[in-house]
């Protein structure tokens, strides 16, 4: 994972030379929202309104549809529309939304609640693609797969004219709630985690 994060950071350095003086825009694409028929119109209107930056969720669950097989079509379109309209893009990498095949292949990496309930793949309030809240990134199997996805993501868009940079972690407390979630790998690595989670949840 360190290699993937280093590549993300290094590939961002050249982007800032052409960055907007004052980035102004919005979060736009969180598949499958908004619908495809609105994309071109929205980009045009955003540019006309003076927006120069969009942030999109590049969700692992929506892109790697099978191990090593990526569906970039919607994301390619987002990047191209941005470039056509003079808008820069912040790529929010979302390895906190894991593919369904990964949930099936690595059941031991699913989060557990402080009450020992198992957390399965679900749909978030912002996206209908599933895969939330992801799988435990302390688990070596999942971490290796996530790293491969991040490297593929960077390699695809690092030279795209719309790229501005990367958001490396969306909402650091994601996956919390009550009961508090943790994973068996993390609990083994940090023995105090279970009691801390139980304390936070009031258990």
Q: Are 54 and 89 in contact (CB under 8 A)?
A: yes
CA angle (82 as vertex; 33, 123 as ends), nearest 5? 20
User: Six-digit token pair at 1?
Assistant: 């994972």
Check whether 200 has a pLDDT greater than 50: no
Q: What is the pLDDT of residues 153-192, one digit of tens each?
A: 999 999 999 999 999 877 654 454 444 556 666 556 656 5
The domain tally of the chain equals 1
Q: What is the pLDDT of residues 69-124, one digit of tens each?
A: 999 999 999 999 999 999 999 999 999 999 999 999 999 999 888 788 898 999 98
124 against 17, higher pLDDT: 124
50-55 average pLDDT score = 97
Q: What pLDDT, on a 0 to 100 scale, did the predictor assign at position 170? A: 72
pLDDT above 70 covers a percentage of the chain that reads 74
Question: What's the mean pLDDT when you consider all of the chain?
Answer: 84
> 171: how many CB neighbours lie within 10 A of its CB?
8
pLDDT above 90 covers a percentage of the chain that reads 60
| Domain harbouring 183, CATH code | 3.20.20.80
Check whether 11 has a pLDDT greater than 70: no
Q: What pLDDT, on a 0 to 100 scale, did the predictor assign at position 155? A: 97
Q: Are 88 and 46 in contact (CB under 8 A)?
A: no
pTM: 0.81
> Which domain range does residue 104 map to?
2-172+179-201
């Amino acid at each position: 994972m360190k290699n993937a994060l280093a590549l993300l950071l290094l590939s961002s350095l050249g982007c800032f030379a052409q960055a907007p003086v004052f980035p102004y825009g919005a979060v736009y694409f969180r598949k499958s929202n908004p619908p495809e028929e609105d994309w071109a119109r929205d980009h045009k209107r955003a540019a006309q309104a003076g927006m120069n930056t969009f942030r999109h969720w590049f969700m692992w669950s929506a892109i790697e549809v099978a191990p090593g097989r990526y569906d970039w079509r919607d994301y390619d379109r987002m990047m191209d529309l941005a470039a056509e309209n003079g808008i820069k893009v912040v790529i929010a990498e979302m390895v906190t939304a894991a593919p369904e095949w990964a949930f099936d292949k690595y059941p031991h990496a699913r989060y557990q609640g402080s009450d020992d309930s198992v957390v399965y793949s679900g749909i978030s309030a912002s996206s209908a693609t599933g895969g939330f809240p992801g799988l435990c990134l302390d688990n070596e199997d999942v971490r290796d797969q996530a790293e491969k996805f991040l490297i593929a993501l960077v390699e695809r868009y690092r030279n795209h004219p719309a790229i501005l940079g990367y958001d490396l972690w969306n909402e650091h407390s994601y996956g919390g709630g009550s009961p508090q979630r943790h994973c068996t790998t993390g609990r083994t690595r940090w023995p105090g985690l279970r009691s801390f989670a139980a304390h936070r949840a009031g258990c």
